[in-house]
Structure 1
Amino acid sequence: MKNEVQMKGKFHYRLSGWKYNTGLRILLFLILGLIFYFTLYAKLVPQVFDITLGMKSEKTIYAPEQIENAVATEQAKEDAAKRVQPVYKIVNLKNEVISDAIFDKLSQINADDEVKFDDKVSIYRRVIPQLISDLTNDAIKTLRNSGQYNDLLLEQIQLGLSDQKYPLPEEIYFKLPRLTKEDLADMRPVTKEIVTKLMNDQILDAQTARAKVAEVVNTSTLSKNTSREMVTEIARALITPNKFFDQKGTDDAKGQARGNMKTVYINKNDVLVKAGDVITEEIYTRLEKLKLLKDKANHLPQLGLGILCALLSFVIFIFVRQSNLQVKYNNLQLVMLVLIFVMNIAGMKIISLLQNFDYPFIGYLAPTALGSILIAILLDAPLAFISSVLFSIIASIIFNTEHDALFDFRFGLVSLVICFSGVFTIQRASQRATILKAGLMIAFFSMLTITAMLLMEDHFQQREALMSLSFATAGGLVTVVFVIGLLPFFEASFGILSPLKLVELSNPNHPLLRKLLTETPGTYHHSVMVGNLSEAAAESIGADGLLCRVGSYYHDIGKTKRPSYFIENQTNIENPHDRIDPNLSKSIIIAHPRDGVDMLKDYKMPKPIRDIAEQHHGTTLLHFFYHKAKKQAEEENSEKGIREEDFRYPGPKAQSKEAAIVGIADSVEAAVRSLRNPTLEQIDSMVTKIIKSRLDDGQFNECDLTLKELDKIAKTLNETLLGIFHSRIEYPSELTAKKPGA
């Protein structure tokens, strides 16, 4: 029955008030999920607007992602096509061959004396133009058979030759029959040379080239005026255009220019519509393509985001539920966990505002490992590892500047690596300098991960690599600054006693420890011994050994109010309890836990330290003064009854493993110190007796110590005491050997 009442008291102590309310705990996890949802909403769910065609926009709308500007792209392509120069083809028509054919015909006809003069004139009037036309057509046919020229170009060549044909003057036909064989022989090479020379130039307008013929003929070797005149006219007839406009080639060049033109984009955060602008069809189509129209909105991304955030929150919920951490029951610590998530995500969001498509590497500046380090120091390292995974997922979404995927694995991987490295470095931290070391490790592993990714890419820009590494280094230093700045805030606001704070409190220069040393040296020595014993015992069962050690240093600080009333401080003085009533002695002794708590509160000591000072005696009985009071009452034949409850400490009983362990170590140290020459058997018996006495007295009913753990504590205390008192212990073998007169 007694145990049942004690268990109910324990349950009430732990679960009463808002700090242990189950409904509030569930609400906090829901709040954490909502924080995830609203943090990632802008990244994963496009904003929509109530807009119709032809209306004026009530607000300025920015592009939520990069999108092609189709109109600007098409305009840029057209501009590029307009800048393309017309394409011309140079064609070798071999007009010098026509020159040889004409002179062959002239030599043949002029040498025939049977043909009359008039007939020769008629022949030349008919044959020479036909000869030029036939040979030109043959040249075009050759070009077509070569396959190098398209039909459209061949048409342009034929049309150009036809339009710029040179008609020989009528009087030329009357002069040609009079040319002698010698005249023709002189004229042939000169004509061919002039045609070849002028046709080597690019001729678009034949008239320009023909104007040069007379000047070239005048510088030739011909001396007769008639010969010069005949050569001039024949050469002009043979000078034709050889540079022709290639429509298909021009179209192909323009098409290539269009194809080479880069797509014009509207970048993320560029203005799509200014407030007051009329929504044109082009703008409306663009907004529709970006899914920014309310009536065309897709609500599936919202559902997907809700499921994702629920999963992220559920991961934390399941881990906490399966753990034995205080955050499982203590809503105050859960509030702190949620606040750490809020601060860490807020830091990432602020840095993401500085990002853009051209400078995505600014994301490496974010103190992503801040939350993981704070959780490792203030709560638990395994919980910090789980949180690190969530932080890396969130970072891969927040810092994602690419829109072809929901996550950017680069930022997720770097965040995961630096969070893990920070937790590994800080989880056994014993001084503030370790935080700086963690910052350096974060910077180093961040740079190492980024370097690995850059080396695996096909190509990377040197500037981008240097900027990424620089921001990663700065991110590690920023993380250190924020951890050092925020750690005291969380310790003070939530009553968290971190290992770093515990190490600071264990400094002998602390005012209370100096007071304990100078005013109660015996109690100080006793407290140090209890610290050694309790730390070893706590570590043997996985409890907080450092908390036990530091709590032991302060557990008897209340004795400094009346130091002479405690036996460890009674050096060469009379014991004042011998002269006073046992009830008064009892009041003085049981007051020291309460006095200690008051002193610790005055110095704003953390609650776990105060709890150890208040609970280390629990509700144990002051056996000596209880029996002394009963004996006095019997001798005085007093009718007043002596109640056992009046000689018990007020409690409460130990509420934590650490408080219970300090209480055991406190009793064991005092008991063993009272032995003159303690043996191994005496120590073992004393430890077992004290633990059993407290167990039977129900002092462990309100903490989580098991019988197996009590057995481990007893063994550890024996081993530790053996090391402390080894020089004074007489082992059984030695006792047997030491006989009188030996």
Structure 2
Amino acid sequence: MMKNPFSKQGKVPPRTHAWKNNAGIRFLLFVLLFALFYLPLSERLISKTYDIQKGSLSETTIYSPKLIEDSAATQKAKDQAAQQVKPVYSVISMKNEDVADQIFAKLEQINTDDQIAYEQKVAVFRQEIPVLFSDYYDRYMKSLNNLHSQTLLDEISKQLHDQQYRIPEEAFFKLPKLTPEQLAEMKPVARSIISKIMEDNIVDVQSVRSKVAEMVNASRLAGKNEREMVQEIVRFVLTPNKFFDEDATKQAQTKAREDTPSININKGDPIVKKDELITEDIYQRLDALGLLKSKVSYWPYLGIVIMASLFVFVLFMFIRQSRSEITSHNPHLLMLVLIYALNILAMKVVGLGQNADFPYIAYLAPVALGTILITILLDVQIAFISSILFSIMASIIYNQNIEQMFDFRYGFVAAVASFVSIFAIHGATHRSGILKAGIMISLFSSVSVGAIILLAEQFEVTDVVLTLTFAAAGGLLTAILVIGLLPFFELAFGILSPLKLVELSNPNHPLLRKLLTETPGTYHHSVMVGNLSEAAAEAIGANGLLCRVGSFYHDIGKTKRPHYFIENQVNIENPHDKIEPQLSKSIIIAHSRDGVEMMKEYKIPRQIREIAEQHHGTTLLKFFYHKAVKQLEARGMDSSEIREEDYRYPGPKAQTKEAAIVGVADSVEAAVRSLRNPTMEQIDQLVDKIIKSRMDDNQFNECDLTLKELDTVSQILKETLLGIFHSRIEYPEDVPAKRETKGA
């Protein structure tokens, strides 16, 4: 606290426990903050290592610290998928009937030529018929060169060669005996059978050739020789038309491998169980996860130390610039540490349920929990920087991609939720405002998640619905946790949040209702003091709401003896006129102590009790002091026996700006009220006189009010009093006119 330049005795140290302002304790709290950042970051970014050898038994169950692809299992699954791919065959349609036509044409040409001897005809057929087949398919293969791969063409050529039919030798001796009429009858039958058979896909032509005899016997051909020769010609002409396509099969196998999803080891899945043999595959998994001690590196640890230190440094700088008590008050810093611990713990708990199948459960995390608590209980600026830190932590904790350190999606949604919570809760005056803030968080979180879904173009209905549901539920969960935790922090740390202050200002509070019904004059005086002190406090950046509520309760002790206070003496005699000044002094002084006791009974927060206890400080009850002096002088006794110390309030003096302002406003309001028709000049002089009197009496020594702030307080009190009493003020230039009106 700053030393008041008007102090005659120097600064009096505040009455507080040593630890609350101890620099060593403060340093330890910042170290604890560092640990809160370091531990979850190291757990997420650095894996625990084990001393394991291949072929040994695992001494413990080892769990995966993060999501990682099981390369061995994935490769095995891909191989199995490729093996399950059936061979791909290509159907190459050939005009086998054309070959048969060429054979029949050759037969007719040779058989009708009488110049060729029988033996020569046999020799010609034995030589020419295979050549006809070979020439035709050579030409056909050339036509396929630009249509199919060379591998498939080689397979076609191979199958045609391997499955080529060899006409029996005896058939060549029967062919020359066929007449043109017989050939003409045989040709359509042969074409019909070939066409019908080749409609099907044929891989093994031998199985089809066995059916030719039955089909020929069912035809209209009657001659035995004709039927036999048709059978041989058809069998010779038939070829396979469905060929194994090696390239297409490989492509199908490749596609099957590509379509096979990766098999992941989820975070928290056991990689190896206790007493399980460490095989090559298991060893490779442990190696890929960096869980082997031989692979340990200390650089990541240094990186996390630097990152956590930067987080603490940034937070420290914002705390230094804060206008709240956290700048020097260790209990408030401890509360900040607890809020951070709860927020990170809540994030980690939600993270336990996150896996590759349900990554979007992370949106359920109440990331804005800490932000709202800091906004309500501490400082908005610290809430803003905390929102950024929580968002960075979320992007690390919920990242499921081993190839990157941060996942911007979770950090983005966390930042939106946190910033929205600050704007939604800042200035809220009722606890229902927390629920409204939760609804706002749900709405904006859902919108931000929707933006991410649109960017990723992931429109699976189930995933979209679950993702949006978790995002909306996260806001409501945040509100529920804040409502549940806020009373704990208010009670444990004696924090007076704006919400609590507004609740205490409700006229239906038992103490305020008692004040109104039993001491209406004091109640009205307290309301007026509240208006004055709130305006003055807000003008210098102090807590105006605390001043208002503190003013409502500052004279609550007067309800024990209401008629001994002048504002409650309506149409009755002043009881102080009949009692000794010593007793009057005791009754008046007791109202501060009585008020504190009553407020303790009703569990009114400490800050308000302190205002009631300190608003008079150690000021002198001048009226009763001078009355006592006059009584002794009237009796001819020595008035020096009356000491000022005996007629002073016991204190303590004001320890805060708020207590000092309420004390000044209390004296000013009572003094101005005693004036019949106060003028502007009278109000100005009275305010200045009261403030100067308190300064001369060293009543501001123990609080950090500056001269500039006192001047501002004085000016605001004058302006506010002028507004309150303007209807009763007689300005000098108006007095003659009023007198003339009276005379008339």
Is the structural similarity TM-score above 0.5?
yes
Deviates more, 1:5-14 or 1:283-292: 5-14
Q: 1:156 to 1:355 in 2, by over 3 A?
A: closer
Quote the offset at 1:268 in angstroms.
2.8
Q: 1:48 to 1:241 in 2, by over 3 A?
A: same
Amino acid at match of 2:130: I
Matches within 5 A, 1:199-238: 199-238=198-237
Unaligned runs of 5+ in 1: none
Amino acid at match of 1:534: S
Q: Secondary structure at the match of 2:13?
A: helix
Deviates more, 1:385-394 or 1:666-675: 385-394
Amino acid at match of 1:647: Y
Quote the offset at 1:128 in angstroms.
2.5
Q: Secondary structure at the match of 2:375?
A: helix
Q: Secondary structure at the match of 2:25?
A: helix
Quote the offset at 1:727 in angstroms.
2.4
Q: Hey, what's the Cα distance between the residues in 1 that align with 2:229 and 2:26? A: 114
Q: Hey, what's the Cα distance between the residues in 2 that align with 1:511 and 1:235? A: 114
Q: Hey, what's the Cα distance between the residues in 2 that align with 1:265 and 1:570? A: 84
Q: Hey, what's the Cα distance between the residues in 2 that align with 1:420 and 1:181? A: 100
Residues 351-401 of structure 1: per-residue CA shift (max 9 Å, x gap):
222222222222222222222222222222332222222222222222333
Quote the offset at 1:60 in angstroms.
1.6
Q: Does 1:438 align with 2:437?
A: yes
Q: Does 1:710 align with 2:710?
A: yes
Identity of aligned residues (%): 58
Unaligned runs of 5+ in 2: none
Q: Hey, what's the Cα distance between the residues in 1 that align with 2:526 and 2:44? A: 57
The answer for the alignment partner of 1:84 in structure 2 is 85
CA contact (8 A) 1:140 1:154 kept: no
Q: 1:720 to 1:275 in 2, by over 3 A?
A: same
Deviates more, 1:399-408 or 1:288-297: 399-408
Quote the offset at 1:674 in angstroms.
1.5
Q: 1:6 to 1:160 in 2, by over 3 A?
A: same
The answer for the alignment partner of 1:665 in structure 2 is 665
Q: Secondary structure at the match of 2:271?
A: strand
Quote the offset at 1:300 in angstroms.
2.5
The answer for the alignment partner of 1:645 in structure 2 is 645
Q: Does 1:121 align with 2:119?
A: yes
Quote the offset at 1:581 in angstroms.
4.2
Q: Secondary structure at the match of 2:14?
A: helix
Deviates more, 1:236-245 or 1:315-324: 236-245
Q: Hey, what's the Cα distance between the residues in 2 that align with 1:508 and 1:248? A: 88
CA contact (8 A) 1:654 1:703 kept: yes
The answer for the alignment partner of 1:35 in structure 2 is 36
Quote the offset at 1:662 in angstroms.
0.8
The answer for the alignment partner of 2:691 in structure 1 is 691
Amino acid at match of 2:638: S
The answer for the alignment partner of 1:26 in structure 2 is 27
Q: Secondary structure at the match of 2:60?
A: coil
CA contact (8 A) 1:19 1:332 kept: yes
Quote the offset at 1:482 in angstroms.
2.0
Quote the offset at 1:730 in angstroms.
0.6
Q: Secondary structure at the match of 1:12?
A: coil
Amino acid at match of 1:353: L
Q: Hey, what's the Cα distance between the residues in 1 that align with 2:4 and 2:65? A: 64
The answer for the alignment partner of 2:477 in structure 1 is 478
CA contact (8 A) 1:29 1:313 kept: yes
Q: Hey, what's the Cα distance between the residues in 2 that align with 1:233 and 1:571? A: 139
Matches within 5 A, 1:250-649: 250-635=249-634, 636-638=636-638, 640-649=640-649
Residues 531-574 of structure 1: per-residue CA shift (max 9 Å, x gap):
22212222222222221122112212233344443333344444
Amino acid at match of 1:68: E
The answer for the alignment partner of 1:53 in structure 2 is 54
Q: 1:196 to 1:8 in 2, by over 3 A?
A: farther
Q: 1:137 to 1:56 in 2, by over 3 A?
A: farther
The answer for the alignment partner of 2:137 in structure 1 is 139
Quote the offset at 1:280 in angstroms.
0.8
CA contact (8 A) 1:140 1:158 kept: no
Deviates more, 1:520-529 or 1:613-622: 520-529
Q: Hey, what's the Cα distance between the residues in 1 that align with 2:130 and 2:663? A: 127
Quote the offset at 1:587 in angstroms.
3.6
Residues 409-456 of structure 1: per-residue CA shift (max 9 Å, x gap):
222222222222222222222222222222222222222222333333
Please, what is the CA RMSD of the aligned residues?
Answer: 3.0
Q: 1:73 to 1:337 in 2, by over 3 A?
A: closer
Q: Secondary structure at the match of 1:665?
A: helix
Deviates more, 1:667-676 or 1:351-360: 351-360
Aligned residues: 738
Q: Hey, what's the Cα distance between the residues in 2 that align with 1:181 and 1:16? A: 130
Q: 1:250 to 1:129 in 2, by over 3 A?
A: farther
Q: Hey, what's the Cα distance between the residues in 1 that align with 2:517 and 2:229? A: 137
CA contact (8 A) 1:143 1:149 kept: no
Q: Hey, what's the Cα distance between the residues in 1 that align with 2:199 and 2:460? A: 50
Q: Hey, what's the Cα distance between the residues in 1 that align with 2:274 and 2:20? A: 49
Quote the offset at 1:194 in angstroms.
4.3
Amino acid at match of 2:665: A
Residues 683-739 of structure 1: per-residue CA shift (max 9 Å, x gap):
111111111221222222222222222222222222222222222211111124456
Q: Secondary structure at the match of 2:261?
A: coil
Q: Secondary structure at the match of 1:415?
A: helix
Q: Secondary structure at the match of 1:272?
A: strand
Q: Hey, what's the Cα distance between the residues in 1 that align with 2:571 and 2:625? A: 26
Q: Hey, what's the Cα distance between the residues in 2 that align with 1:334 and 1:294? A: 39
Quote the offset at 1:126 in angstroms.
5.6
CA contact (8 A) 1:15 1:21 kept: no
Q: Hey, what's the Cα distance between the residues in 2 that align with 1:203 and 1:672? A: 117
* Greater relative contact order structure (CA < 8 Å, 6+ sep): 2
Residues 575-609 of structure 1: per-residue CA shift (max 9 Å, x gap):
44444444444344333323332332233221111
Amino acid at match of 1:34: A
Deviates more, 1:536-545 or 1:67-76: 67-76
Q: Hey, what's the Cα distance between the residues in 2 that align with 1:555 and 1:517? A: 13
Quote the offset at 1:479 in angstroms.
2.2
Q: 1:55 to 1:9 in 2, by over 3 A?
A: farther
The answer for the alignment partner of 2:677 in structure 1 is 677
